[in-house]
Structure 1
Amino acid sequence: MIAFELAVQDAHGIDIATRLGVDRVELCSALALGGVTPSFGLIEAAVSIPGAPPAHVLVRPRSGDFDYTPAEHAVIVRDVRHAVASGAAGVVIGGVRDGRIDEPLVQAVVEAAAGAHVTFHRAFDLLPDPEKAIDTLHALGVRRVLTAGGPTTVGDTLPALSHLAAVAAGRVEIMAGGGVTTALIEPLVRLGLPAIHASAKHTVPDAAALTLGTAAQARTGRETTDEHEVERMLAALHAAARP
């Protein structure tokens, strides 16, 4: 059965993932910015709920690109250690420098994870030679790659995803993510990929009109997990997986 990973950013999302029985969660904050490292309190909440799915913590110290300074490297490694010590099943990271994987960063993260799963996120889709990148990540000990098969979304890149899965040949798990909708579940399952990642979120209108932060004018509410969309995705996944 193909695994379903749900990106969640709050206690509401953790509750939905637990009740609906998703296979694992990617835990983060600020999905509207592509996701950044969640608080320790949210990590502890995710790992303390009985029956909650395994939590894989996004470790991303800021929004923007993935070319990190030495000081940011140090923050990432510290956050990885704290996430694993708190009970996370894995961490999700990414680093790119000069068009290549930031190997020193990934190596330091794998060592700090101390056996917990390491996923390389969609920074992978910026790399000009993804086949070589898979070889590099495998050699570094990375367990999984989250990819849309290119810099756009999975709906545009199904053949590329299939090719990446063939290149990986089970050495690194290829997990499809980036614009996954319920309508795309069946074609993704047909590719034979081992995992699908989705956020399944919707916007809850703001109850207050207070302006906070420089990006406030662009916001109309807060994003959170849409329980009904998760239900639809899981139903589509189970239907597509039937013989």
Structure 2
Amino acid sequence: MTMQANRHDTSDTAPRITLEICVETVAGAAAAITGGCDRIELCAALALGGLTPSAGLVAAVLDVARPAGVAVRAMVRPQPGGFTYDATTLALAQREAAALVAAGVDGLVFGATREGALDTAALAGVRDALPATVGMTLHRAIDVVDDPVAAVDTAVALGFDHILTSGGAASAPAGAATIARMVARAAGRCTVMAGAGVAPGNVAALIAATGVRAVHGSASTAAAPASAERIDFGPPPRITSARVVAQLRQVIDDQSNLGQL
């Protein structure tokens, strides 16, 4: 199987189904590109669900992605845990978002909730402070609201062009029925992207069951444990597999071709 980078960021109107890979290292970005991803979601601390990446990491990944023509969206998440933020944390999120855009990323990934719903004031505050040309993905904060299907309308009204979701379940395959309803609710107004637990062995069935035109995964394996230390400072970064990315790309493209028959 030939592994090569895709040189454009496809839209959901194109026959090709978009493959986004989340990474937390420069090596991970290079592997995702080699495997044929369409877009990178750049985070720090994927073990914590993803946090805002450092300025140095952003610059280094852009150096790898730009020559390959692969778009990069960066996570804006100032702290681990849930997605309900106080005023101080939201102000930090706005500063992080502005810094990431100034660094040259193509888009941002952000989400905020309050009392079982999307926090429209918080989301609008981040969105309105950015240039209109910056792409925005609403991340899996939508999976913890009371009604993720209805929340699609809110996300569209707030200007998000992508929604990353597992359908409110622990994995996208488990939440496929809800994802399908979210795709129908979006009706082409934004791209609903299935993510969480996506693998080469289940992605074809996931696409068929949901109708999504974009999928998201890490295509990664746990790193080998480091030599024993006296103090545990947490797990090492996961290792993105170019081979698994390529397998995802192949299955997705085969599914796209089936859809055109």
Q: Which TM bucket (shorter chain)? A: over 0.9
Is 1:11 the counterpart of 2:26 in the alignment? yes
Structure 1: which 5+ runs fail to align?
A: none
Task: Output the amino acid matched with 1:47.
Answer: L
1:191-238 deviation per Cα after TM superposition (whole angstroms, max 9, x unaligned): 32120000111112133322455x64xx4x541212221121112112
How much has 1:139 moved relative to structure 2?
A: 1.1
How much has 1:52 moved relative to structure 2?
A: 4.6
Supply the distance in 1 between the matched residues of 2:54 and 2:248 (Cα, whole angstroms): 27
Find the residue that maps to 1:113 and give its secondary structure.
coil
The 3 A distance-change label for structure 1 pair 211 and 146 is farther
Question: 2:249 aligned to 214, 218, 234, which one?
Answer: 234
Question: 1:73 aligned to 81, 86, 90, which one?
Answer: 90
Q: Retained in 2: the 8 A contact 1:59–1:80? A: yes
The 3 A distance-change label for structure 1 pair 240 and 211 is farther
The residue correspondences of 1:51-62 to structure 2 (distance < 5 A) are 51-62=68-79
Q: Retained in 1: the 8 A contact 2:24–2:237? A: no
Q: Retained in 1: the 8 A contact 2:139–2:163? A: yes
What is the match of residue 125 of structure 2? 108
TM-score normalised to the size of structure 1? Answer: 0.93
Supply the distance in 2 between the matched residues of 1:99 and 1:43 (Cα, whole angstroms): 32
The residue correspondences of 1:144-223 to structure 2 (distance < 5 A) are 144-190=162-208, 191-212=210-231, 216=234, 219=235, 221-223=236-238
Which shifted more, 91-100 or 198-207?
198-207
Task: Output the amino acid matched with 1:26.
Answer: E
Supply the distance in 2 between the matched residues of 1:103 and 1:34 (Cα, whole angstroms): 22
The 3 A distance-change label for structure 1 pair 143 and 211 is farther
What is the match of residue 149 of structure 2? 131
What is the match of residue 108 of structure 2? 91
Supply the distance in 2 between the matched residues of 1:227 and 1:58 (Cα, whole angstroms): 22
Q: Retained in 2: the 8 A contact 1:2–1:189? A: no
How much has 1:89 moved relative to structure 2?
A: 0.6
The 3 A distance-change label for structure 1 pair 116 and 211 is farther
How much has 1:151 moved relative to structure 2?
A: 3.0
Which shifted more, 1-10 or 99-108?
99-108
Task: Output the amino acid matched with 1:56.
Answer: R
How many residues in Structure 1 have an aligned counterpart in Structure 2?
239
Supply the distance in 1 between the matched residues of 2:231 and 2:130 (Cα, whole angstroms): 36
Task: Output the amino acid matched with 2:44.
Answer: S
Task: Output the amino acid matched with 1:3.
Answer: T
Supply the distance in 2 between the matched residues of 1:227 and 1:208 (Cα, whole angstroms): 26
Q: Retained in 1: the 8 A contact 2:32–2:241? A: no
State the superposition RMSD in angstroms.
1.5
Is 1:46 the counterpart of 2:58 in the alignment? no
Supply the distance in 2 between the matched residues of 1:222 and 1:46 (Cα, whole angstroms): 15
Supply the distance in 2 between the matched residues of 1:46 and 1:228 (Cα, whole angstroms): 20
TM-score normalised to the size of structure 2? Answer: 0.87
Q: Retained in 1: the 8 A contact 2:34–2:242? A: no
How much has 1:116 moved relative to structure 2?
A: 0.5
Task: Output the amino acid matched with 1:59.
Answer: V
Task: Output the amino acid matched with 1:229.
Answer: V
